[in-house]
Structure 1
Amino acid sequence: MPTYDYECTPCNLRLEARHSINTQAPNCPQCEGALTRLILCAPAAHGHMAQGREQAMRSLQSTPGRGKHQHGPGCGCGH
């Protein structure tokens, strides 16, 4: 059976519940309030997906001094 993550709307308690996909969400064990299913995604930790994510993050970050680079003799930086 899959594990689902829930958060209680009134008291903000977070918990996990294991049940079939067709079963309704349980009530909060603390206050009997309504639980909302959370959708959580684990980040890629290694491999091709992680490399792509890190390259994308670097491309969005501003680089200090970009555009002010002075090319000297034999610089070789490729700009």
Structure 2
Amino acid sequence: MPTYDYQCQQCQHQFEAKHRISDPRPYCPECGGVSNKLILTAPATHGAMALGREQAIRSLQPQLKNDAHRHGPGCSCCHH
């Protein structure tokens, strides 16, 4: 279910709400006022979509110039 960001028209309180896109917007939990949707946060993805998203995120991150082993103390991945 997607998460939506809202701001109350009366008291300006910002809050998040999870609901179906077809559900009516919630009232402010602080004062009960009418809220405006601010930002739509994309829903979490699973399976193949998550793998593609993860690869896309990694491709945008800066790559290390030195390929030296970077694991911390106690790492046994390279010790036989």
TM-score of the superposed pair, with normalisation by structure 2: 0.49
- Larger Rg belongs to: 1
The higher-RCO structure (CA 8 Å, 6+ apart) is 2
Q: TM-score, normalised by structure 1?
A: 0.50
